[in-house]
Amino acid sequence: MPEAITNATIVDVRTPGEFAGHHVPGAINIPLDEVAQRINELKELPKPVIAYCRSGNRSAMAVAILKQHGITEAVNGGGINDMLQATK
């Protein structure tokens, strides 16, 4: 597993149902619609924050929200399949 990923916080921004079905090991679930209201929680987590979703669209929106709130070390990990490949 790349060191950048092992030292990062991996955030799954999909719905709790999607997360329950399958997710990247070690990821935490903060659905996209909760990202802004949970920004203080996200600020406390180890950086970088790598967000992913099903295809990369929701995670791109989540990264934009994080950066608007001062979390500059936010990365779009893309879709779940991309993240699963990257964390092997």
Q: Which of 27, 32, 51, 53 is catalytic?
A: 53
Smallest Cα–Cα separation from 24: which of 47, 5, 44?
A: 5
Query: DSSP characters for 44-75?
Result: HS-S-EEEEESSSHHHHHHHHHHHHTT--SEE
31 labelled catalytic: no
Smallest Cα–Cα separation from 10: which of 37, 39, 70, 50?
A: 50
Return the active site residues. 53
